[in-house]
Amino acid sequence: MILVFVDADELSAQAVGFARGLGDVRAVTFEGAYQPLAWAKALAAQEAEAIVAAGSDRGNELLAHVAALLDVPFAANVTAVDGDTVTRVRWGGSLLEEARLHGEPRILTVAPHTHPAADIGDVETLPAPDDGSPKVIASVEESSGGVSLRDAKVVVSGGRGVGSAEGFAIIEELAGLLGGAVGCSRVVTSAGWRPHADQVGQTGTKISADLYIACGISGATQHIAGAKGAKKILAINTDPEAPILASADYAVIGDLHEVVPAISAELKRVRG
Amino acid sequence: MVLAADAQALETRHLGFTISPHEECAVEEAVRIGGEVVVLTLGPAEAEEQLRDCMAIGADRGILLRTDGEEWDAQSTAAAIAEAIRDEGGFDLVLFGNESADAAGYQVGIRVAHVLGLPVVTGLKRIEVLDGTVRCERDVGGARDVYEAPLPAVLTVLEGLNLPRYPSVPGRLRAKSKPLAVVEPVRPAQGLEKLRLAVPEGQGKRAEILEDAAQVVDVLRRLGVA
């Protein structure tokens, strides 16, 4: 039997789909304030051949606790299982590792967006008594005025090529016209031009937009790790050899300081 | 990305090494919190350079758990780190990056907390040390979850917690003479035994070149986003 921890999210539905390929699935969840260690103790107490969860913040955290409690290995962000061998994602998806997962039960999380979602079916709620370990004691709503980067349908993003904090005015204008969010690369946050909350990448936000417009971004693998969830990518870059072009569906070879305002102007013109 | 001939590691002859972004923020935070700051890593002899970088921005001393260059899985890495920390004793906070940029096992900090019997909170973007406790916050998509833990505690952090400073020239000079202890732990059998690395099937696309703003707007309309 494969024990799967599920949340009410798309990634959990994908994890269930993946786990059905391993054996009979028993889907479980918890109620009340999130308390990682207490929940992990309840998971670790179940009989199972394998314990599986989504490769989400919560899934990875819970199963790391379970593996520590049982003193067995834990493979995070797995894309495939073949006998005792797993394939897992490293470097934000730029590299795959094949590894032998020793120990019982097998503990693994499923890499996001590598398997189709399944109908989760029946979900059992496990009891998890408060054990005094750290838990969520309050939740503060973010007072965000605009569209969130993670859920935006369009993200218009700027990189080193934008040149300054003020240079983002044209990026903001285009994002506004498209009802989208403004993003940026790590160079931009390190320079202090934009807050870290705007950063797209492996250590920033992983987006899931219909369209990502990357302006003056060369396209380091760490950046692509956050952008590749977009269905389509449009790159605007002066360099036809920029690595971002290998990930882009469309490209404009030109200076973003001219191209971006021209797109905004054309949008306004066609809308009358 | 280019793999070495045995597919056990990346070809790094032409690359530089650096601290992972999350860990860089952990070191910056420790220096800002104040008190004695000790930096620790498990890695080959060359990793001394990264420890010196941390000392250049204000860490007081370093501990290198020196390996022969072979990778250690998360479970054995955590065991070696926990042992080194236990030998030290007398700490208030143990900070980790939430996950490393390369191996991304998402577990070393949590495992160390279990071995040491300490509370742990992960994925943090805000930390406030109070009298005997620490209050911390994690982003959870549109909201921030608040946790509190008694000290000593293990915390794992994310980039965005702070903006790490660059080392100054005097800082680099001072770092050269700060104490560095070297320990050589024994690599146990690997529970997650790496067999080989592979570069995923080429996502190398051929981008369609658009000539002007009118063509771009046509595409935006076709995609239903204009």
Q: Across the interface, do A211 and B205 touch by the CB < 8 Å criterion?
A: no
In a domain, A27, yes or no: yes
pLDDT of residue B200: 82
If one counts the domains in chain A, the total is 2
Nearest residue in chain B measured CA to CA from A36:
B121
Among partner residues A95, A140, A246, which is closest to B199 by beta-carbon distance?
A95
Same domain, A219 and A256: yes
Q: Across the interface, do B1 and A68 touch by the CB < 8 Å criterion?
A: no
Which among A96, A105, A72 has a CA at the least distance from the CA of B194? A96
Report chain A's mean pLDDT, rounded to a whole number. 94
Task: Evaluate if residue A143 carries a pLDDT over 90.
Answer: no
- What 8-state DSSP symbol labels residue B10? B
pLDDT in tens, B198-211: 988 765 678 999 99
The whole-angstrom distance between B166's CA and the closest CA on chain A is 10
Predicted ipTM? 0.92
Q: Across the interface, do B114 and A68 touch by the CB < 8 Å criterion?
A: yes
In a domain, A146, yes or no: no
Mean pLDDT, residues A38-66: 97
pLDDT of residue A272: 82
Mean pLDDT, residues A53-77: 97
If one counts the domains in chain B, the total is 1
Q: Is this prediction's pTM over 0.95? A: no
Domain carrying residue B72 = 21-183
Task: Evaluate if residue B12 carries a pLDDT over 80.
Answer: no
- What 8-state DSSP symbol labels residue B168? P
Q: Across the interface, do B213 and A99 touch by the CB < 8 Å criterion?
A: no
Spell out which residues of chain A touch residue B102, defining contact as CB-CB under 8 Å.
90-91
In a domain, A140, yes or no: no
Task: Evaluate if residue A147 carries a pLDDT over 90.
Answer: no
Return the CATH number at A46: 3.40.50.620
Domain carrying residue A9 = 2-125
In a domain, B15, yes or no: no
The whole-angstrom distance between B7's CA and the closest CA on chain A is 10
In a domain, A46, yes or no: yes
Q: Across the interface, do A67 and B107 touch by the CB < 8 Å criterion?
A: yes
Task: Evaluate if residue A64 carries a pLDDT over 90.
Answer: yes
In a domain, B143, yes or no: yes
Angle of CA points B165, B173, B127, to nearest 5°? 30
Task: Evaluate if residue B14 carries a pLDDT over 90.
Answer: no
pLDDT of residue B90: 86
Task: Evaluate if residue A144 carries a pLDDT over 70.
Answer: no
Same domain, A6 and A121: yes
The whole-angstrom distance between B115's CA and the closest CA on chain A is 8
In a domain, A132, yes or no: no
Among partner residues B142, B148, B217, which is closest to A137 by beta-carbon distance?
B148
Task: Choose from B6, B15, B110 for mutation: most chain A CBs within 10 A.
Answer: B110
Spell out which residues of chain A touch residue B210, defining contact as CB-CB under 8 Å.
234, 250-252
Q: Across the interface, do B193 and A100 touch by the CB < 8 Å criterion?
A: yes
In a domain, B10, yes or no: no
- Cα distances from B111 to residues B89, B96, B104, B180, in angstroms, run 17, 11, 14, 25
Q: Are A91 and A72 in contact (CB under 8 A)?
A: no
Mean pLDDT, residues A216-243: 93
pLDDT of residue A113: 86
In a domain, A212, yes or no: yes
In a domain, B28, yes or no: yes
Same domain, A13 and A101: yes
Residue B5: pLDDT band with limits 50, 70, 90: confident
pLDDT of residue B205: 76
Spell out which residues of chain B touch residue A150, defining contact as CB-CB under 8 Å.
141
Same domain, A117 and A173: no
Return the CATH number at A230: 3.40.50.1220
Task: Evaluate if residue B2 carries a pLDDT over 80.
Answer: no
DSSP, collapsed to helix, strand or coil, labels residue B200 as coil
Spatial distance between the Cα atoms of A150 and B13, rounded to a whole number of angstroms:
36
Residue A120: pLDDT band with limits 50, 70, 90: very high
Same domain, A182 and A107: no
In a domain, B111, yes or no: yes
pLDDT of residue A189: 95
DSSP output for B26-88:
HHHHHHHH-S--EEEEEE-GGGHHHHHHHHHTT--EEEEEE--S----HHHHHHHHHHHHHHH
In a domain, A130, yes or no: no
Task: Evaluate if residue A194 carries a pLDDT over 80.
Answer: yes
Return the CATH number at B54: 3.40.50.620
Q: Across the interface, do B213 and A263 touch by the CB < 8 Å criterion?
A: yes
pLDDT of residue B4: 79
Task: Evaluate if residue A145 carries a pLDDT over 90.
Answer: no
Same domain, A12 and A60: yes
DSSP output for chain A:
-EEEE--SSHHHHHHHHHHHTTS-EEEEE--SS--HHHHHHHHHTS--SEEEEESSHHHHHHHHHHHHHHT---EEEEEEEETTEEEEEEGGGTEEEEEEE-SSSEEEEEPTTSS-------EEEPP----SS----EEEE----S--TTT-SEEEEE-GGG-SSGGGHHHHHHHHHTT-EEEE-HHHHHTTSS-GGGBBSTTSB----SEEEEES----HHHHHHHTTSSEEEEEES-TT-GGGGT-SEEEES-HHHHHHHHHHHHHHHH-
pLDDT of residue A135: 97
